[in-house]
Homo-oligomer: A and B are copies of this chain.
Amino acid sequence: MLIVQKYGGTSVGDCSRIENVAKKIVSVKEQGNSLVVVVSAMSGETDKLLGFATYLNTLPNEREVDKVLSTGEIVTSSLLAIALDKLGYKAVGLSGRAAGIITDTAHTKARIDKVNTEIINNYLKEDYIVVVAGFQGQSIDGHTTTLGRGGSDLSAVALAGALKADLCEIYTDVDGVFTTDPRIDDKARKIDKISYDEMLELASLGAKVLLNRSVELAKKLNVKIITRNSFNDNMGTLITNEEEIMEKPIITGIALDKNQARISIVNVDDKPGIAAELFTSLANANINVDMIVQTIGRDGKTDIDFTIPKTDIALSKRILDDFKHSTQSVEFDEDIAKVSIVGLGMKSHSGVASKTFGTMAKEGINIMMISTSEIKISMIIDLKYAELAVRALHSAYDLDK
């Protein structure tokens, strides 16, 4: 098998951890696999380098920032190659550029355009373990670029796709994706298999494991991902396409998001263009609107409810001042939570909505907003009931069994 592995910053946080990772890699190599390993910078290194750059200029030239930051991963990749060499295995460290990763020119948040696999394939043919510096590439105009947050995962997924690898293993310091946050419900279980779409909907559960942009790329390139804990040998969570998942549970996981705030525009004029005007103003201010619910108008008036990140409350208030002319009042509510239940099986099962709402009713929890997709039901509820709602739903759908 050709396996792409990725080790994050804490997994390669110091030299002794790099030695441990080398041993892990060798054990996989010993089973007859070919290996491409993507590494992050040693933990703390990227922040240190960014600190230098921002000391010199609070808005440093991003082209140069990328060159500075990229060195962190280059150091780790060659150190890991040295550790593998010490164990008697041929290994080479490659920068993103040397590994053939071509990006656009959007410095500090570049997108991968393509991967030239020739160099890596040549090393694999000669039985090398190829260690690639994650988080980086080279733009078409020849400068080093970095890929932004979660960039090393993206490097691994892109390489796995381009090399047609059998598997992409993402090593972090957690065991995988859980049915819900174990800090909220200690009966949370690790999920063995999950589809790309479920993973995308459960973003808040998966955030510590894999950001949505990497899941999206994996879905597009059809890369099978296993997320695992580099500090143990547990099996982790397989993220793959729907077809690979035979048993489709009705509910796979329950996510909780406490970072949203609700805004209600009450008794706004119910005429075309009002909503468009409102959400265009918010979008222009880069405010990410999540759920939107509009009731059917009555007497030429309607209510519009929507949620935004709590951090954007102040900015939203200023923008919504402009709407005072056409509305009776604007209400802001920060004490809310969004609870989402996600599952592929929902597609073919009726009764999920009624069971979900019934569970909430039994606990005396009022639902303020509802929004649904094919595989998800999200509800906005009072913040104080957030954990209770998660535990009740987790139990109602037997996720603890």
The answer to the question of A81 belonging to the interface, with a C-beta cut-off of 8 Å to chain B, is yes
The answer to the question of A124 belonging to the interface, with a C-beta cut-off of 8 Å to chain B, is no
Interface of A is mostly: helix
Number of interface residues of A (CB under 8 A): 33
Check if A61 sits within 8 Å of B82, measured CB to CB: yes
The answer to the question of A64 belonging to the interface, with a C-beta cut-off of 8 Å to chain B, is yes
Report B-chain residues with C-beta under 8 Å of the C-beta of A64: 78-79, 81-82, 85, 91-93
The answer to the question of A189 belonging to the interface, with a C-beta cut-off of 8 Å to chain B, is no
Known A74-B71, A98-B142; judge A15-B52 contact (CB<8 A). Answer: yes
Check if A15 sits within 8 Å of B56, measured CB to CB: yes
The answer to the question of A336 belonging to the interface, with a C-beta cut-off of 8 Å to chain B, is no
Report B-chain residues with C-beta under 8 Å of the C-beta of A142: 98
Check if B93 sits within 8 Å of A56, measured CB to CB: no
Report B-chain residues with C-beta under 8 Å of the C-beta of A83: 56-57
Known A61-B85, A71-B74, A98-B142; judge A79-B93 contact (CB<8 A). Answer: no
Q: Which of A48-97 contact B (CB under 8 A)?
A: 49, 52-53, 55-57, 60-61, 63-65, 67-68, 71, 74-75, 77-79, 81-83, 85-86, 91-93, 95
Closest-CB distance, A54 to chain B (whole angstroms): 9
Report B-chain residues with C-beta under 8 Å of the C-beta of A381: none
Closest-CB distance, A138 to chain B (whole angstroms): 10
List 25 A-B pairs, Cβ < 8 Å. Answer: A52-B79, A53-B78, A53-B79, A53-B82, A56-B79, A56-B86, A57-B83, A57-B85, A60-B85, A61-B82, A64-B79, A64-B85, A64-B92, A64-B93, A65-B82, A67-B74, A67-B77, A67-B78, A67-B93, A68-B74, A68-B75, A68-B79, A68-B82, A71-B74, A71-B75
3 closest residue pairs by CB, A with B: A71-B71, A57-B86, A64-B78
Q: Give the interface of A toward B (CB within 8 A).
A: 15, 18-19, 49, 52-53, 55-57, 60-61, 63-65, 67-68, 71, 74-75, 77-79, 81-83, 85-86, 91-93, 95, 98, 142
